[in-house]
Amino acid sequence: MHNMESLKIFLELARLSKAAYASPIAHKYHSYKGKPFDDQRIIHGSIGRGFCRIFWNIESVVICFRGTRESVDWQISNLKAFPVKLRDCPEASNTLVHRGFQKTLNYDDKTTKLRSLDAILRCLEENSLLDKKIAITGHSLGGALAILFAVKLRSSHPDKVRENLESIITFGSPAVGLSTFKKFYGKLGEKTVRLINSSDAVPFTPPLFYQHVGSEIWLQNEGISTSGGWLVRLVKALKGPASNFSSDHSIVQYILKLKALINSQTNSLER
């Protein structure tokens, strides 16, 4: 899943993930599969700040989760790594996920006064968005939320997910759950792609017992690898400056790397 068309879709979703950090967003300047969006909604989470944007056009809906923007995000979400039971999925038994990530979906949306997860679902239902092709995305913490939201959406709307979910694309996402979650995630893994830029440290976290889902695409200066694995990435990362662990996590760097890869493929096709 890394031909030219796929890379262009990754770039569109990376740009959306970057835009999710800002407010407001001019949705008409963003697109999915080359088609601009017609409308959007924002869902607010902790302390009144928007953490989820829903964009759509006549064909598709993209549910985009914002990543860590301020230190309070780490205090609220990222540092609470103690595993807890997965909520909102009655069919799951003893499925354990990151406490902080799950808690983020439980904050109240300031607009609807609903729990954030319920506010997202209501927006999707009231606008008939689950009848469109569905993509879920996010950077950093947003990538973790995208993965966690996907199983909750499947639980509440299994038929719509089976028929219309196209992809779950994350950028620099940490792991979300233990082996029980990976097993429960099941076939969603076939539609999940985790992009990792060079020495980005966040995909190494949380370090103990947590397991990634889906397939991995490792973006490097020399090209793309789909068979790196965390140990290979760690060995290479340790050979470079320690600052790369942090700088390579920036969504801006993901965008620049994808642009470079697209340009490289374009040039090679023109030769």
Rounded CA-CA distance 102/77 in Å is: 8
Number of structural domains the chain divides into = 1
Look up the pTM and report it. 0.92
pLDDT one-digit tens code per residue, 219-233 = 987 778 887 777 777
Single out the residue of 100, 119, 102 nearest to residue 110, CA to CA: 119
In a domain, 271, yes or no: no
Contact of 212 with 203, CB cutoff 8 Å: yes
Mean pLDDT of the chain: 88
Q: What contacts 159, CB < 8 A, 6 or more positions away? A: none
Rounded CA-CA distance 234/29 in Å is: 37
- 269 to each of 34, 217, 266, how far by Cα in Å? 20, 22, 5
Q: What is the pLDDT of residue 31?
A: 97
Q: What pLDDT band is residue 80 in, cutting at 50, 70 and 90?
A: low
CATH of residue 101: 3.40.50.1820
Range of the domain at 131: 4-266
Q: What pLDDT band is residue 175 in, cutting at 50, 70 and 90?
A: very high
In a domain, 77, yes or no: yes
Residue 52 phi/psi, 5-degree rounding, is -140, 135
Q: What pLDDT band is residue 123 in, cutting at 50, 70 and 90?
A: very high
In a domain, 214, yes or no: yes
Does the pLDDT of residue 177 top 90, yes or no? Answer: yes
In a domain, 210, yes or no: yes
69 vs 48, more confident: 69
pLDDT one-digit tens code per residue, 53-68 = 999 999 999 999 998 7
Q: What pLDDT band is residue 270 in, cutting at 50, 70 and 90?
A: low
Does the pLDDT of residue 71 top 60, yes or no? Answer: no
